[in-house]
Structure 1
Amino acid sequence: MFSRPDNNYNVSDDVIDAILKDQAHPIFHIVNYVKDGQKILDIGAGSGVLARAILKSKKNVSIDGVEPNRYAANMAANFYRTMLCGYVQEFYAEISEKKYDIIILADVIEHISDPLEMLKQLMKYIDSSTKIFISIPNVAFGGVRLALFNGSFNYTDSGLLERTHLRFFTRNTADKMFEKLELLTEHLFSLERSFYRVEFKRTELSASFISIFKLARLSDARAYQFLYILSKEANPEKFSQNIIIHAGTSFYSIMRDYFFYQSHFVKIYNLALKVIRKIQNA
């Protein structure tokens, strides 16, 4: 059964502000996508981080939430038009009646034992015009690969290896699942982070320069999460091609972190970079 410490649901306003500036966070892109007047359902709403971010961005939307954890649902209730406490399977009739423009599952399906079946059932109750936003952690992230190389696979209270995760996805396995559901990917965001600036210890990331270089060049290894915007649209030709959007860190940032991710090294590096740029512009 899904269980998470209550204190993990406490999110400060500073964290919401940081999310709205973080291009490697799925909520940053979700907030930018939604439009005034839309009806939105947030499945697995937690303590209301998504609704709070939308409110802070001054978007005028109607947003409802579904959340199984009573503690989190009570925290979130003030930020939603309606908060339903329970599992999504209990509320299919309500979902069908509301005819939402967007349904969001942000870091949710990895907590479900059979996400394919759950999504298959959910699709029966939503309109063909409804957009489905699904974000997932990427178990093929470079930090996970390097940790495994060093014999480490440590569960945590939050992050890619959160102890409540029941399923793990790569881009390939997620693509195959959505194909089975006959969902079309309108947009795919590859949300990329440095291996050295997330939850992994430096000792877990020990590897040769060549290994880091090769991993940093792979976008699927830089991707900490993926955000899919999906559609039940029956005509695939409506979309000329899937648009893959890379957001967050770069190959160069990861290589800089490999050499310099100590605070004093970063300061020296940035200072040297400024001097070089001044010389070039002189």
Structure 2
Amino acid sequence: MQNDETDFYGKNYWFKHQTDGLGLPDLMTRVRTDFLDRYPHWLKLVYDLGFRSGRTLEIGCGHGGFVYLLRTLGFDASGLELSPWLADFARERYRVPMYCGLLEQQPILARSLDLILLFDVMEHLERPLEFLSQCFALVDEGGRILLQTPCVPSGCGYSEL
């Protein structure tokens, strides 16, 4: 795995910024806890939309564990991460298909997806409406985009939650 020092969402983000800067668990802790903590909730949301399979892209998939879970349940799922280091981590740990880089740079055909997942991604975007337009172009008729954003009191940091 590579780690470019200019890779903001790479190794330093997960092992330094997340822990020291935000007071959140590091990547390896998340690998262990997400299956019990976050994924049951996310899977319920996916099931509540009526999906039990389908061509699925999780954008900002982190370590790739949810992509792995979806694949084990029969989804044709893949992930997208900005960080080459994190995309490599997901490929090596879970053997899941990963895209790396910006969404518009990926070889994903228009109307080729049934479901796009965006969990805690929107707050990182400079142009969220433009990004959502790109997502809508990729979703087939009858498909869905499921997004989740944090609900944090104004001016409140992670250490205060």
Asked if these proteins are the same fold (TM beyond 0.5), I'd say: yes
TM-superposed deviation, 1:18: 3.0
User: Whose Rg is larger?
Assistant: 1
Paired residues for 1:114-153 under 5 Å: 114-139=127-152, 144=153, 153=155
Amino acid at match of 2:97: T
* Residue pair 2:115, 2:145 contacting (<8 A) in 1 also: yes
**How many aligned residue pairs are there?**
139
Amino acid at match of 1:73: A
TM-superposed deviation, 1:80: 5.8
Name the structure with the higher helix share.
Answer: 1
Aligned to 1:17: 36
TM-superposed deviation, 1:74: 1.2
Paired residues for 1:104-123 under 5 Å: 104-123=117-136
Root mean square deviation of aligned Cα: 2.8
Amino acid at match of 1:40: T
Corresponding position: 1:35 with 2:49:
no
Corresponding position: 1:101 with 2:120:
no
Higher RCO (C-alpha 8 Å, min separation 6): 2
Paired residues for 1:123-202 under 5 Å: 123-139=136-152, 144=153, 153=155, 155-156=157-158, 199-200=159-160
Q: 1:155-175: per-residue Cα shift (whole Å, max 9, x none)?
A: 44xxxxxxxxxxxxxxxxxxx
TM-superposed deviation, 1:47: 0.9
Corresponding position: 1:90 with 2:105:
yes
List structure 1 runs of 4+ shifted beyond 6 angstroms.
none
TM-superposed deviation, 1:103: 1.0
Structure 2 unaligned segments of length 5 or more: list them. Answer: 1-5, 16-25
TM-superposed deviation, 1:133: 0.7
TM-superposed deviation, 1:122: 2.9
* Residue pair 1:40, 1:62 contacting (<8 A) in 2 also: yes
Corresponding position: 1:67 with 2:95:
no
Aligned to 2:8: 3
* Residue pair 2:114, 2:139 contacting (<8 A) in 1 also: no
Match of 1:49 among 61, 65, 68: 65
Structure 1 unaligned segments of length 5 or more: list them. Answer: 146-152, 157-198, 202-282
User: Match of 2:35, SS?
Assistant: helix
Structure 1 residues 28 and 123, CA, compared in 2 at 3 Å: closer, same or farther?
closer
